Structure 1
Amino acid sequence: MPVVATAAWSIPKTVAGRFTAEGSGLSRYASVFDGVEVNSTFYRRHKPSTFARWAQAVPEGFRFAVKIPREITNTRAMKDIGAPFGTFLQDIAPLGEKRGPLLCQLPPSLAFDPDVMERAFDVMRSADPGRIVIEVRHASWASERVVPLLRRYAIDRVLADPALVWPSAAFADPPCYVRLHGKPKVYYSSYTEEEIRAFARLLAPDSWCVFDNTASGAAIENALTMLDLL
């Protein structure tokens, strides 16, 4: 079954009854969902002990998708990333087998440069064999050179909504990672049951679907709807 998750694990009061009443926010979230996307790593480092505590708070089979720091994607623009990427991997190592995909979200200003990206992907793959997914937002990533390069390094494209570069029609196979940001108002708008059903039909058994429309509390409600539909 696909992993249905949200960005972070805040539970709004409107659906609190769907979760266990006792425990931390994370452990309560994990009583229903099998995964979560950690976005805070994009903005700041966490101590390895934090990741160890999170791993201990969730059951076997639960997975953390972790966002790659903006020092790598934004500040360095994917250049000379060996040292910070290695530090990032050391920080999250205590997640162990509970680590899910690494999410590489590039800024809207970062165009596709095949030489820069190949060097970056080579560094990432030399350091880590796990699943890596990439969300891009610059139109140049629609280049036909992109997919073969990503395939060479076993990096999966993210199907985002709104889809700025890769709409669902651009995926010949089920997307491995779907990020639903909300529309028309990004991070706020809730999805209808019909829209959620349409995204659910795109998923493979090993896909992730993350609701990122967290600003209004819609993410958890939408994710629960998807779980009910699967």
Structure 2
Amino acid sequence: MGEHFPTTGTHLERYARVLPAVEINSSFYRPHRPGTYARWRDSVPETFRFAVKVPKVITHELRLRDAREPLERFLGEAGHLEAKLGCLLVQLPPSLQHERETARAFFQSLRERTAVDVVCEPRHRTWFTDEARQVLDCTPAGATRQGLEKARAWPRDTSPSSAARTLGSGQKVLAEDTVPFAVWCAARHLDSFEEALWCTVAGFGDRDTTCAMAGGIVALSAGRSSIPAKWLSAREPLRRRV
């Protein structure tokens, strides 16, 4: 892969000359100074975009409750990316069940403080209900919502490559370019984890991201038993982060 990247500049500068976007995952574990975000902003082209992960203190420790102070602090820091802040990723812990009022209050508070696109990654099956969708539907329309509307109407008997050309398959590494296609693939094979992932892979693009999304949805819908035994046995151990 090295031959595809320039040899001069920082890692980010070299990366940004080839790829159009990146996720800042470290913000989940620790805060970054405004100056750090500003330096990253000034290191990339105007069209480059950052997806920034919401801190775990908000999602995993406070579990979306009473999070005003850390949320405002985080938004104040990440806001120094300015127009290059593409979206915020709210990844919820697998044990966090959907509670209507908690979810409504948090996402309303988030929307009041920023107009940036928000991507929510719930991992407990209670979030995949009509009631939960109604809460998330309170978020104003944006590019990701428009993509999901296209995905809802896109025929399920068409090829994944055709769907990917219209819905996007992650080449831009943005929410609107990954979520609609991943949801379309999952909806097409809600009872088969393996078929859902092969469908997603056929769209090419950022397959790590889209397969993680589609696989998570189908696993919650069809259960662990839908995952092939040989895939489960081939899992790589995850090192515990401190």
Unaligned ranges ≥5, structure 1: 1-14, 159-167, 181-191, 201-208, 214-230
Residue of structure 2 in register with 1:35 after alignment = 21
Residue of structure 2 in register with 1:198 after alignment = 203
Residue of structure 1 in register with 2:178 after alignment = 178
More strand by share: 1
SS in 2 for 1:50: helix
Provide Cα deviations, 1:131-189, integer angstroms capped at 9, x if missing partner.
00100110111111122221212388x9xxxxxxxxx9xx6264736389xxxxxxxxx
One-letter identity of the residue aligned with 2:201: I
Determine if the alignment matches structure 1 residue 74 to structure 2 residue 54.
no
Partners in 1 of 2:28 and 2:140 — Cα distance?
Answer: 22
One-letter identity of the residue aligned with 1:33: L
One-letter identity of the residue aligned with 2:100: P
The answer (yes or no) to whether the contact 2:200–2:207 under 8 Å persists in 1 is no
Report deviation, 1:198.
2.4
Residue of structure 2 in register with 1:16 after alignment = 2
More helix by share: 2
Change over 3 Å in CA distance of 1:155–1:136 after alignment to 2: farther
**Match for 1:150 among 136, 139, 162?**
136
Provide Cα deviations, 1:17-41, integer angstroms capped at 9, x if missing partner.
1111111100000011110000000
Report deviation, 1:62.
0.3
Determine if the alignment matches structure 1 residue 105 to structure 2 residue 91.
yes
The answer (yes or no) to whether the contact 1:133–1:177 under 8 Å persists in 2 is no
Provide Cα deviations, 1:28-65, integer angstroms capped at 9, x if missing partner.
00011110000000000011111111111101110110
Change over 3 Å in CA distance of 1:48–1:116 after alignment to 2: same
Aligned structure 1 segments of 4 or more residues deviating by more than 2 angstroms: 173-180, 192-200, 209-213
Unaligned ranges ≥5, structure 2: 154-166, 168-174, 183-196, 211-242
Provide Cα deviations, 1:55-104, integer angstroms capped at 9, x if missing partner.
11101110110000001000000001111110001111211111110000
TM-score normalised by length of structure 1: 0.66
* C-alpha RMSD over aligned residues: 2.8
The answer (yes or no) to whether the contact 1:60–1:98 under 8 Å persists in 2 is yes
